[in-house]
Amino acid sequence: MPKAMNERGITINSASPQPLGRSRIDWIGYVFIGFFAVPFLLFNVMPILFGVYVSFTEWSIIGEPKFIGFQNYWEALQDEWLRRAFLNVVLYALIIVPGVVVLGLFSALFVHQKWPLSALARTILFTPNVVSATVIGLVWVWLLDTQFGLLNHYLGLVGISAVPWLTSVQWSLFGVSIASVWWDLGLAFVLLLAALQDVPRELYEAAEIDGAGRVTQLRFVTLPHLRPTISMVVTLQIIATMRIFSQVYVMTNGGPAGSSLSVIVHIYQKAVVQNLLGYASAVSVLLFIAIVAVTLFQRLLLREMPRG
Amino acid sequence: VAEVSRRLRQCIPGTNLALRDVPIWLAGMLFVIIWGAPFVWMVSTSFKPSAQVMTKTIEWIPRDWTLANYQKVLSQYPIGTWALNSVIVAVVSTGLCVFFGALAGYALARLHFPGRQLIFLIFLGSMMIPPEVGVVPLFIAFLRLGWASTYQGLILPTIANVLSVYIFRQFFLSFPKELEEAAIVDGAGAFKIFFKVAWPLARSPMIASTVIIFTLNWNNFLWPLLITFDEDMKTLPVGIAAFAPVVGSHTQLEGYAVAMAAVTLLCIPSIVLFLVLQRQFIQGITIGSVKG
C-alpha cells in the first residue's frame, strides 16, 4: 500500500491506550461518548430507520400513516420523473466528476510548483468551496443569463451566439454543472495538493538523473503516487453529485421540464410540494441504496486493480 | 543551442520560475484569474446603479459606485433577522458539536472500555450515509413535535457531525501520555484530566473542527429550507435564495444588483473565516476527507 495512504489514513488498529487510573476499564468512557452519541442516535440514526418504516406507508403531513407495503416502491419504478432524475444524476456525474478531477489535478500540479503567486492561486482556487449554495446559485444565474450574462458576452466575442444556459431543455443541466464544478473544485484540489506534497523528493531526483523529462516524471512518478487519492476524490465527488440539490434548487428548480431535475430535488418536491411523505421516503431509501452500491462497487474496483 | 537551453532552465532571479516555464505559469495564472472572476463580478454588480447592470457592454469596474443596493437589501428584506438566526444556529450547533466531539474523540483515543472500536467504526461508517436520506422522516418527526420554525428545530439535527469526533480522535491518538500520567498521580478523574490537561492543549483540532463545522452550518441549505415556514425564522442562505428567479420574485422586481448585494453579504463571514484560518481549514478538510 502506498505510503501516502498510510500516513493520513485511519488507524483503527492502533495500540490500546493504557487505562487511566487504577481500574482496568474506564467505564466513564461511555459518559464521554454519551454526549455525542445521544444526538447521533436521535438525529442521525433514528431518522434512517424511521424513514424505512415511513417508506412503506401512505402519509401526508396531516393524518395518520397507513401501511401500504411495497406500493411506494412500485410507484417509484413507474415514476417517469424519477427515472428522469436518476438519469440526470448520471449525466451530472459524467460532466462534474471529470471536470472537478481533471481541473483539480492540473490546479494542484500548478500550485505545487511554488511559482510566484502560488499562495494566492491556492486561496482563489479553494474559495468557492466555502460559500453557500445560495451564493453559487445566484452568482451563476447572473453569469449565465442568456441576454446580459458574462459568459454569453465573451462567447459572443468569439462568434458563438447566445446560449440559453438555464432556460432551455438542452442546456440547463450543463449550466448547473458548470456552477457545480466551480463550487466543488476546491476540495479535490486541496486533497490532491496534500497528496503531491507526500511524494518523496528523492524519486524526482532519481528520475532526473535517469534523464526523465517532465512528462515522463509525471507519468511514472507523480501519477502512481496520486492514484489512491485520485480514486478517493472520484468516489467523494460521485457521491456528492448523486446528492446534488441546493444549486439545482436555486438555479433551475429542476426545470425546464425536468431537464435538470435531480433525485433530491424530486424528493423535495414530492415531500414539500405534494405532501407525499411516504413516497418521498421510499425515493430516499432508493437513493441511499444507489449510493451504497456505487461506493461498494468503487471499493471492489480498487481492490481488483493492481496498485502502482 | 546548449547555451539557449541552459538559459531557459535558469530561474528568474528572486523566484523559482525558470524562463521556459513562463508560458505555463501565465496560462495557470489566467485560469486562476478566471476562477476568481465570478466573485469580482458579483461584488462589482452589487455596487452598480440598477440602470447600469443589464448592459450590452461589460463593465468590470462600475462607472458610478452606489450603496443603494445594500441599503435596499437591508431595509426592504429581513436580512438582519435572517443573519441573527444564522448566527444563533451556526454558533450553538458548532459549539455543541465541537465540545461533544472533543469528549467523544478523547474517549475513543485515550480511554479503555469495551466496544470502543465498534463505536468508532459505527461513527465512521455513518459518514458514508448521506444526511439527505434521513431528512424526510426527520421533517415528519419535527412537524409532529411542533418544532417547525423553531431554533431547536434548526439546531438539533446538526449537532452530531462525526467530523469533529474524527478530528479530535486523530489528535488525541498522538497526545503524549506523560501529560496525563502526572494528573493521574495526583488522583484526578477522567473528566478532570480532560478539562485540565487535554482540552486546553487541543487548540489545533479545536480550531480546525470549528472553522469547518461553522462553515458547514452557516451554509446549510436543505434542512433549514424544509423546517422553516415563517419568514422570520429563516436563515440567511434560505432567505436570500428567494432572490433566485425560479424561487422567488425579488430579482424580477429589483434586478440583479440587489441580489448580488445580498449574496455578497452572505458570503463575507465564511470567506473571511477561511482567509484568516486558511491553514487550519485546509488541514482539517484533508484529515476529515481521508477516511480510508
Mark yes or no for CB contact B108/A194 under 8 Å: no
Surface of A (187-206) touching B: CB under 8 A? 187, 190-191, 194
Q: Please check whether residue B13 touches A, CB under 8 A.
A: no
Q: Please check whether residue B75 touches A, CB under 8 A.
A: no
Q: Name the residue among A136, A105, A107, A132 with its Cα closest to residue A122.
A: A107
Cα dihedral A130→B35→A243→B275 (10° resolution): -10
Residue A66 CA to its chain's centroid (Å): 35
* Amino acid B292: pLDDT: 36
DSSP A80: H
Considering only CB atoms, A295 lies closest to which of B99, B128, B136, namely B128
* Amino acid A299: pLDDT: 81
- Indicate if the pLDDT at residue A212 is higher than 80: no
* Amino acid A23: pLDDT: 53
Q: Convert the pLDDT of each residue in B24-33 to its tens digit.
A: 999 999 999 9
Average pLDDT, chain A: 87
Q: Under a CB-based contact definition with an 8 Å cutoff, are residues A73 and A286 in contact?
A: yes
Task: Name the residue of chain B whose CA is nearest to A12's CA.
Answer: B117
Residue A305: pLDDT band with limits 50, 70, 90: low
**Arithmetic mean of pLDDT, A40-49:** 93
Interaxial angle between packed helices A277-304 and A46-54, expressed in degrees from 0 to 180 and rounded to the nearest 10: 120
Q: Under a CB-based contact definition with an 8 Å cutoff, are residues B250 and B50 in contact?
A: no
Sign for the pseudo-dihedral over CA of A84, A88, A89, A94: positive
Surface of B (156-185) touching A: CB under 8 A? 156-157, 159-160, 162, 165, 173, 177, 180, 184
Q: Convert the pLDDT of each residue in A169-180 to its tens digit.
A: 999 999 999 999
**Arithmetic mean of pLDDT, A114-132:** 93
Mark yes or no for CB contact A264/B241 under 8 Å: no
Helices (H), chain A: 3-8, 29-39, 46-54, 71-78, 80-112, 118-126, 133-143, 150-157, 172-197, 201-209, 214-217, 223-242, 246-251, 263-268, 277-304
* Amino acid B290: pLDDT: 57
* Amino acid B280: pLDDT: 87
Using a CB-CB cut-off of 8 Å, the residues of chain B touching A51 are 133-134, 136-137
Picking from A62-66, A103-107, A184-188, B211-215, which range would have the lowest pLDDT averaged per residue? Answer: A62-66
**Arithmetic mean of pLDDT, A179-202:** 92
Using a CB-CB cut-off of 8 Å, the residues of chain A touching B271 are 127, 130-131
Q: How far apart are CA A72 and CA B194, in angstroms?
A: 50
Mark yes or no for CB contact B112/A287 under 8 Å: no
**Arithmetic mean of pLDDT, A244-268:** 93
Instruction: Compute mean pLDDT per 10 residues along chain B, 292 residues long, and list them.
Output: 79 82 94 96 94 85 91 91 95 96 94 92 86 89 92 95 92 86 80 89 91 92 93 94 85 84 93 91 79 40
Cβ burial of B114 (10 Å; 0-12, 13-18, 19+) is exposed
Q: Name the residue among B128, B123, B131 with its Cα closest to residue A295.
A: B128
Q: Residue A66's beta-bridge partner residues?
A: A58
- Indicate if the pLDDT at residue A11 is higher than 50: no
Q: Name the residue among B232, B79, B215, B77 with its Cα closest to residue B148.
A: B232
* Amino acid A304: pLDDT: 63
Indicate the residue type of A49. L
Surface of A (66-105) touching B: CB under 8 A? none
Q: How far apart are CA B42 and CA B259, in angstroms?
A: 9
Q: Please check whether residue B205 touches A, CB under 8 A.
A: no
- Measure in Å the smallest separation between the Cα of A209 and chain B Cα atoms: 16
Using a CB-CB cut-off of 8 Å, the residues of chain A touching B35 are 124-125, 128, 182, 185
Q: Under a CB-based contact definition with an 8 Å cutoff, are residues B263 and A127 in contact?
A: no
Question: Quick check: helix, strand or coil at residue A67?
Answer: strand
DSSP per-residue string spanning chain B: -HHHHHHHHSBPTTSS-BGGGHHHHHHHHHHHHHHHHHHHHHHHHHTS-GGGTS-SS--SS-SS---HHHHHHHHHS-HHHHHHHHHHHHHHHHHHHHHHHHHHHHHHHH---TTHHHHHHHHHHHTTS-GGGGHHHHHHHHHHTT-TTSHHHHHGGGS--HHHHHHHHHHHHTS-HHHHHHHHHTT--HHHHIIIIIHHH-HHHHHHHHHHHHHHHHH--HHHHHH--SGGG--HHHHHHTTSTTT-SHHHHH-HHHHHHHHHHHHHHHHHHHHHTHHHHHHHHHHHH---
Surface of A (3-22) touching B: CB under 8 A? 8-12, 14, 16-21
**Arithmetic mean of pLDDT, A81-105:** 96
Q: How far apart are CA B285 and CA B96, in angstroms?
A: 19
